[in-house]
Amino acid sequence: MDQVAALELRSVDLQSSRNNKEHHTQEMGLKRLIVRRGQLFTLQLHFNRPFQFQTDHITFVAETGPAPMELLGTRAIFSLTQARQGNVWSASDFTIDSDSLFVSLFTPANAVIGSYTLKIEISQGQGHSSTHPLGTFILLFNPWSAEDDVHLPSEALLREYILTDYGFVYKGQKRLITARPWNYGQFEEDIIDICFEILNKSLYFLKNPSKDCSQRNDVVYVCRVVSAMINSNDDRGVLQGNWGEDYSMGVSPLEWNGSVAILRQWSARGGQPVMYGQCWVFAAVMCTVMRCLGVPTRVVSNFRSAHNADGNLTIDTYYNRNAEMLPNQKQDKIWNFHVWNECWMIRKDLPPGYNGWQVLDPTPQQTSSGLFCCGPASVKAIKEGEVQLPYDTPFVYAEVNADEVIWLFGDGQAQEILAHNTSSIGNEISTKMVGSDQRQNITSSYKYPEGSPEERSVFMKASQKMLGPGRASSPFLDLLGSGDFQDQPAQLQLHLARMPEWGRDLLLKLHARRVADRAHPRAPIRLEVRFCAQALLHKGGAREPLWRQTVHLNLDFGQEIEWPLLLPFNNYGNKLTDEKLIRVSGIAKVKETGRSMLVLKDISLEPPHLSIKASERAEVGKALGVHITLTNNLTVALSNCVMVLEGSGLIDGQISNELGTLLPGHTIQIQLDLYPIKAGPRQLQVLISSNEVKEIKGYQDIFVAAAGAS
């Protein structure tokens, strides 16, 4: 009987196209193998002769990281078997077709994510053995697998939080929330490589590469690393923050349309931080990275968000007699809005009941374990006041629950409390609705209804955990307890008399009504009301006053007065930040008592609106007509207008056009053709920026048919 020839590998087919489709990674490309852990994928091995299971022995070796070791979980050795062995690396379910062997490989649902090399060792009996490289593959988290810590059991949610590559960031103020489109672009072909480049530039990797790679099986660990690496405060992270006014060394945070350009610039320049980001840019880029790695992620906005640096659950704000908001001497601040991420995961490091959405915040506000990162903090733990649970739960709890105390300041000290607001912080917590362009209010996920027994009970529980049982010795408690500042002889409100538009005078009305109080139950009162307008800074605080006015009112009991106020454009035109927010403050002094009252109105000035129209039918590779219109309805010209178009699957990179100056009352019309690259639902993002208005944004949803589809 002739001796059987030694088994030799002639070729290998990683079947990337088929496997990637089955693993929901085909949008990243079909030329290389990208799979998710906890799920089978198939290889075809072509030999010099038919494979014989009884005598031919095949062992697979998969390795990742700089120094792979079985002990660290970065090296796996497994032999071909007839049946799968459970949640371990295995090669099984093989079929033989002539000289080809089709074999299914399984990666455990807790495997380290990363780029792997795969090879086989072939041996026959006690004799000769040979090793052959099979190629490389990328392994990602798998939210489709019930065994994975990121498992999300809903196709609609998976479509939104993993597969959708565009969305919205919610900005503005709680009474006028604006949706700004964003291109996440997590499936652009080079983004997956940049995501692992981010992990490989982290301080954890640089300090101990082998240990860092071995911990990449843990989604909690990976999230914390990414949270630290999106900002550049400690490391060569992706974005440099800038909350000033000078963006001349880079790009204004308002002028980004999406994450792809930022990530590509960071990578192309060898890890130099991209200038510049603010909270929504940090969060949107982190959303791209986490969705790319396979972790369900969304972007969340919190309106009037507290930064409570000293952890006392109170933010103090100060005004002087002239109604001017004063700089805060402490680090405490109230952001007009703040944007963070939520990632979906099982928290095996916490007691039962805290799985699901977890807050991660890549904006560098304060350190956590020595680095500028934040989270994951369980949203459920925040709602229940379980602030002792990791990570950074007290900080996030304060962002949505801190009390605001507003003081009248004079002669170098706080003189009286103007207001104590228990519900002004943590409003309209918002994210994009699943499968829709609408906004979803998720405030009830973070806290019980304001003022409800449950909410106050949770607040007291969290307070005692954060401050200790001696909280009753707060310096302002006596003033609060007296309630004197609540017993006022008049009700004051500021209203807009017409829609505010940048470039026009602002018309407001002061509404004053005399009500009963303890000191002068029904007597007439005289009020001196000093008004002040200031440009609001996004990070909290305000610029120097840009307008002042004083009004004297006499109010009989039960009387109501409306007093008109005019804030001319000339006063604010060149005084605002790029976000175009104004705070009008009024402090009314009651002549009879010497006590003071506060009235506030925040005004958001909307930019002109873009109109975007696209052809009714879009198909891969065929011209898609797009018509963009912008009318300057302001009273001033918009100079140095630049248009940037972006949209994953529609445009490769960006299209940029200089449009020149747009005079008041004039209209720009742009007609152009796009040639869509990918089928499916897409979003075209359009930004027009100018010297005067940095952020005029619009979007158009477009469904692209596959090439040749009838």
Residues with catalytic function:
279, 338, 361
Cα(68)–Cα(78) distance, integer angstroms: 15
Cα(66)–Cα(77) distance, integer angstroms: 17
CB 241 within 8 A of CB 247: no
Instruction: Compute CA distances 668 → 501, 655, 684, whole Å.
Output: 20, 17, 18
Consecutive H or E run containing 283: helix 279-293
Residue that the structure tokens 């065929």 belong to = 622
Handedness of CA 471, 474, 477, 478 (dihedral sign): positive
Cα(426)–Cα(587) distance, integer angstroms: 25
Half-sphere exposure of 171 (CA within 13 A, CB side): 25
Cα(45)–Cα(14) distance, integer angstroms: 9
The DSSP bridge pattern shows strands 490-496 and 439-441 to be unpaired
From the number of C-beta atoms within 10 Å of its C-beta (0-12, 13-18, 19+), residue 18 rates as: middle
Q: Which two tokens stand for residue 526?
A: 């005289």
Which residues have a Cβ under 8 Å from the Cβ of 4 and sit 6 or more positions away? 49, 52, 55, 124
Residues forming a β-bridge with 140: 36
**How many beta carbons lie within 10 A of that of residue 207, not counting itself?**
9
Instruction: Compute CA distances 690 → 504, 693, 696, 699, whole Å.
Output: 18, 5, 9, 18
HEC assignment per residue over 72-132: CCCEEEEEECCCCCCCCCEEEEEEEECCEEEEEEECCCCCCCEEEEEEEEEEECCCCEEEE
Between 453-467 and 393-401, two packed helices, what is the crossing angle to 10 degrees? Answer: 140
Cα(676)–Cα(647) distance, integer angstroms: 10
**How many beta carbons lie within 10 A of that of residue 208, not counting itself?**
12
Give SS3 for 304: strand
Alpha helices in 148-278 (DSSP H): 155-158, 191-200, 203-207, 209-214, 219-230, 260-268
Q: Which amino acid is at 709?
A: A
Strand-by-strand arrangement of the 680-689 sheet: 618-619, 696-705, 680-689, 638-646, 654-662
**R_g of the chain, CA atoms, integer Å:** 30
Which residues have a Cβ under 8 Å from the Cβ of 112 and sit 6 or more positions away? 64, 65, 73, 74, 139, 213, 214, 216, 217
CB 504 within 8 A of CB 569: yes
Half-sphere exposure of 274 (CA within 13 A, CB side): 24
Cα(121)–Cα(79) distance, integer angstroms: 9
Cα(93)–Cα(42) distance, integer angstroms: 9
Which residues have a Cβ under 8 Å from the Cβ of 526 and sit 6 or more positions away? 552, 553, 554, 555, 590, 591, 592
